[in-house]
Amino acid sequence: MPSALRPFDATRALRLARETCETEAAALHATGLRLDERFAQAVQRMLQVSGRAVVMGIGKSGHIGRKIAATLASTGTPAFFVHPAEASHGDLGMVTPQDLVLAISNSGESTELTAILPMLRRLGVPLVAMTGGAQSTLARHADIVLDSSVEREACPLNLAPTTSTTVQLALGDALAVALLDARGFRAEDFARSHPGGALGRKLLTLVGDVMRAGAELPVVAPEASFSTLMREMSAKGLGCAAIVDAQGTLQGIFTDGDLRRRIEAGADLRTATAGAVMHAGPRTIAPSALAADAAAMMEEHGITSVLVVEGARLVGLVHVRDLMRAKVI
């Protein structure tokens, strides 16, 4: 435990915080300037393997390794993390000759990691090292070395891994970005690996997934009386009703807004039919369209629902509440 706490010095805390940011920013800049053909070779080698990228690291480098593995996996490069100590006790069997190992160690001398290097070589697994020790055991065993060296840690004692782990993380992100670009990875691909996220919902949720259909639809025939039209709108509570013929072909729509405008114009609606008061040519969308496109259509035209059609046949309706419930908007 540290000795008794001295009085908190806000000025000192802010100074250290700024120095930390400046130290780490300078290290990242220097790392970017040092990148050379070895980085391109690492990316090419990772593209060539038919297996997975197996990320290894111990201590703070292990925490960084887990994040790098997760980033690679979510951006098109199959990857997972293996703890070096567990690898020595059976988990090395998870690594196959078709894989590539990305080993992370600032010193390059982590005992748990260096202990398994000879076995990785015997397996014939390509080894990419991310290390600050250019002459280290890890670097000597590696096929490709990515220099993650830093001048000093941001820690005032120059002990706690701070700057070095920031550089490791940035190099991992750089690998992931270069790989996803080389693979032609698209936003749609990202969404498929993030179905529960906001982007996944926007890029994967279809109109057919959220639309109302069957008995939920407010539907009347063109010859229906105006009172029948009103009862259907009230019963379904969506502020509109679709007018369809006997074959299910969409003829038009009547909305709360249409009703208001008719009343303001002084129209006598007592003897009117649905076909006489409907708005022909309503906004429509296909069930295979993205739900986000329906949301964009509603916003553009100032409406709260869109009719869903296949060809000219009405198959559903999507309301703004349906999109909110599905968290598309």
**Domain check: are 181 and 34 in the same one?**
yes
Q: Residue 132: inside a domain, yes or no?
A: yes
Asked if residue 222 and residue 79 are part of one domain, the reply reads no
Which of 233, 211, 202, 238 minimizes the C-alpha distance to 220? 233
In sign, the C-alpha dihedral spanning 294, 295, 301, 307 is: positive
Question: Do 209 and 310 belong to one domain?
Answer: yes
Please give the model's pTM, rounded to 2 decimal places.
Answer: 0.71
Write out pLDDT tens, residues 160-190.
Answer: 999 999 999 999 999 999 999 999 988 777 7
Same domain, yes or no: 29 and 177: yes
Query: The domain that contains 115 carries what CATH number?
Result: 3.40.50.10490
Residues 131, 23, single domain; the answer is: yes
Q: What are the beta bridge partners of residue 279?
A: 253
Alpha carbon 125 to chain centroid distance? Answer: 30
Domain that holds residue 288: 204-325
Residues 83 and 154 in one domain: yes
Domain count, the chain: 2
What is the share, in percent, of the chain residues with pLDDT greater than 90? 87
Residue 192 lies in a domain: no
In a domain, 37, yes or no: yes
131 and 98 within one domain: yes
- Looking at 152, 185, 218, which one is the last position of a domain? 185
How many of the other CB atoms lie within 10 Å of CB of 292?
A: 18
Residue 195 lies in a domain: no
Same domain? 117 vs 20: yes
Question: What is the tens place of the pLDDT at every residue in 123-144?
Answer: 999 999 999 999 999 999 999 9
Q: What is the pLDDT of residues 274-297, one digit of tens each?
A: 999 999 989 999 999 999 999 999
243 in the same domain as 286: yes
pLDDT tens, position by position, 40-95: 999 999 999 999 999 999 999 999 999 999 999 989 999 999 999 999 888 999 99
Q: How far apart are CA 98 and CA 87, in angstroms?
A: 17
Q: Looking at residue 59, what DSSP letter applies?
A: T
Whether residue 4 lies inside any domain: the answer is: no
208, two tokens: 């057919």
* Assigned token pair, 300: 């553009």
Ranges of H-type helices in the chain: 10-34, 37-48, 60-74, 84-87, 111-114, 117-123, 137-141, 163-182, 187-192, 198-204, 207-210, 226-236, 256-264, 274-277, 291-301, 320-325
> 58 and 181, same structural domain?
yes
* Domain at 310, CATH number: 3.10.580.10
Q: Residue 291 domain-assigned?
A: yes
Indicate whether 101 and 208 sit together in one domain. Answer: no
Q: Are residues 142 and 274 in the same domain?
A: no
